[in-house]
Structure 1
């Protein structure tokens, strides 16, 4: 236990799998909580088998959502596995689960059952849809929800077919939102005599929230907003442009910046004086006339030259990097954004570091992503399960 970490001493039981739930638990683990992840003895979390493998039972996908956790294995379809999970839940401050609707009740791991014996429990359920509505039992998948919430309709270039985000944005947003809600419930517990809460998150709700200002515009205009791709719907020029040797981001945020952009960066002062482009409102109206001119000017110049000129002019800008370039860039390395760890089986792996800093210090990676069942013995020993009982549980497939 590190007493300097914000959630040091908090105990979390992670019964979730795949992405949204594991991310919520990882957030708490990053902040110092002791997170125990429960996995199936044979297959573990589904994501152990997704994508690039790292070691015998880990994958890049799994590792990205399960740092700062301990892993135990329990077969929750067996009564003995359910009993041990209940014992762990009753010793925890937080339980996180994303089972199919009604699944936890069959195992005696639902909120009502646990809270009857542990009223201070903060219990987080993540579902696909409104748990009180007609689709409560319908499973939730990020890609499906991206389609149903209009997000795929927003993404991409004008005239392009619906396009998903590059990462599972709905799952990620739901996981981060769940982490926030759990922290709020823990704070409320401190003020209301120690009583816990049942926190509920639905992927569809979070997907709707992700439409933000585009969603507000659609409701006001009663129309689907147009697609702008890498451009901005109301600021011009603002987006990704090609220099002669690679792409860059240019964000001309106000009229004074546009004046400097035209005079000092692309050396076309007449554009700054043209009434069609003098204000941002005018530039937005005439974007289809202006942007081809600006793209041609930028394409004639090397990226480094443009970045230097833009910086001197006080215009926000930056390179467009590939994922590997970004992760291995001097900026990321200097900030400690990627660190090296070693799995319990000896496999060296890169691990993305928690983004949180307190008093200027990035929070540590206390536990590398766990191998399957790495901590089963030590965690169950905390329940009083001795070596003979562990052997019996292994022989019966409970762990």
Structure 2
């Protein structure tokens, strides 16, 4: 395995639940030494979420805490705070998501740590703008999905607002945090000066509205919801074959003609002037989509996928989640790895999605609560 890009970078992670731990997991996947600070009794909240794995882990915790070391410190104990400060003294990055003033109360705020480590990159993740009127509000993914308008663009027309299947705001906030930290790491190499990075779930939720958000600002109203269809590309969505669903994504006019003429034998649809361009197809979707749906129901899914692929039409099966994770495609990509717990249980979890120099990055399973406390604190005493 070649050296990873962040080998030699030390991260002290005071965060918990999802956004913060995901950001540090990304850094750990890239080779950083991530030391996860947890309460000795409670640990990370997510150790109690999901399906139990071992004595102190769950599926939820496993999803965001690989490639880390766990150190149990009770920050209500002044001696443990001093141990935390000692860990930060030679660290490169600190990540925290305490409520406003929480880290400062322990003497672990940015200004406090800058005095002992002028090169520290200090990333704070909050629910809302730390300089705004709602700074003291706790941030929860579901609440922000509602407040940022994301639920309003998800789901079917005429149905109630719908949350995303995963905690999308938390996850994107974690990824944005990792990006900002990486940028700060580059800059500190040039300047030698520490930086503070602030993110809020709400700001990231607004960012996630993307082109829907811009449509709303131009229209000065909410854009319609299309469920599995696309707001501006037609046909593009989930369709039913005679024996199951599939995805068809027609991205241009040439592909639409191939879909109708070559894959379905319906040249008349391709020649219909109402469907000549994507803009026209979008305007006439209420006529086109039912006609296309009736045609697709005449065919078996395997036959459709074969014909669509031969015609150069982007398409795919709609798989169940377990079916997708155990698919030969997933196995060939080495995206799921397995390790054996101390209790002798084989546990599968996902690997980082990138390869470096052609190789999938090594994966260490998430740590048990306080697993590395003795090891890490002993190294401080030697220093």
Q: TM-score, normalised by structure 2?
A: 0.98
2:211 partner SS: helix
How much is the aligned-residue C-alpha RMSD, in angstroms?
Answer: 1.3
CA contact (8 A) 2:154 2:161 kept: yes
Question: What's the counterpart of residue 376 of structure 2?
Answer: 379
CA contact (8 A) 1:265 1:313 kept: yes
* 1:286 and 2:277 are equivalent in the alignment: no
The 1:324/1:317 distance shift into structure 2, 3 A limit, reads same
Question: What's the counterpart of residue 210 of structure 2?
Answer: 212
- CA distance in structure 1 between the aligned counterparts of 2:293 and 2:274, rounded to whole angstroms: 17
CA contact (8 A) 1:343 1:370 kept: no
Cα offsets for 1:10-53 (capped at 9, x unmatched): 11111100000000000000000011101111111000000101
Question: What's the counterpart of residue 31 of structure 1?
Answer: 30
* 1:86 and 2:111 are equivalent in the alignment: no
CA contact (8 A) 1:343 1:371 kept: no
Shift of 1:345: 4.5
The 1:343/1:46 distance shift into structure 2, 3 A limit, reads same
Question: What's the counterpart of residue 305 of structure 1?
Answer: 303
Matches within 5 A, 1:228-267: 228-267=226-265
Question: What's the counterpart of residue 198 of structure 1?
Answer: 196
Shift of 1:328: 0.6
Question: What's the counterpart of residue 389 of structure 1?
Answer: none
- CA distance in structure 2 between the aligned counterparts of 1:356 and 1:253, rounded to whole angstroms: 26
CA contact (8 A) 1:248 1:303 kept: yes
Cα offsets for 1:166-205 (capped at 9, x unmatched): 000000000000000000001000111x111011111011
Of 349, 352, 359, 2:350 maps to 352
Question: What's the counterpart of residue 73 of structure 1?
Answer: 72
CA contact (8 A) 1:186 1:196 kept: no
Cα offsets for 1:245-266 (capped at 9, x unmatched): 1111101111111111111222
Question: What's the counterpart of residue 39 of structure 2?
Answer: 40
Shift of 1:343: 3.1
Question: What's the counterpart of residue 136 of structure 1?
Answer: 135
CA contact (8 A) 2:2 2:357 kept: no
1:382 partner SS: helix
Shift of 1:77: 1.5
* 1:368 and 2:365 are equivalent in the alignment: yes
The 1:257/1:3 distance shift into structure 2, 3 A limit, reads closer
Q: How many residues align?
A: 383
Gaps of 5+ in 2: none
- CA distance in structure 1 between the aligned counterparts of 2:74 and 2:2, rounded to whole angstroms: 33
Deviates more, 1:62-71 or 1:296-305: 296-305
Shift of 1:342: 2.5
Deviates more, 1:161-170 or 1:376-385: 376-385
- CA distance in structure 2 between the aligned counterparts of 1:344 and 1:175, rounded to whole angstroms: 29
CA contact (8 A) 2:54 2:342 kept: no
Shift of 1:347: 3.1
- CA distance in structure 2 between the aligned counterparts of 1:165 and 1:274, rounded to whole angstroms: 37
Cα offsets for 1:53-94 (capped at 9, x unmatched): 111110000001000001111111121221111111112111
Shift of 1:344: 4.3
Question: What's the counterpart of residue 61 of structure 2?
Answer: 62
Shift of 1:384: 1.1
Gaps of 5+ in 1: 387-399
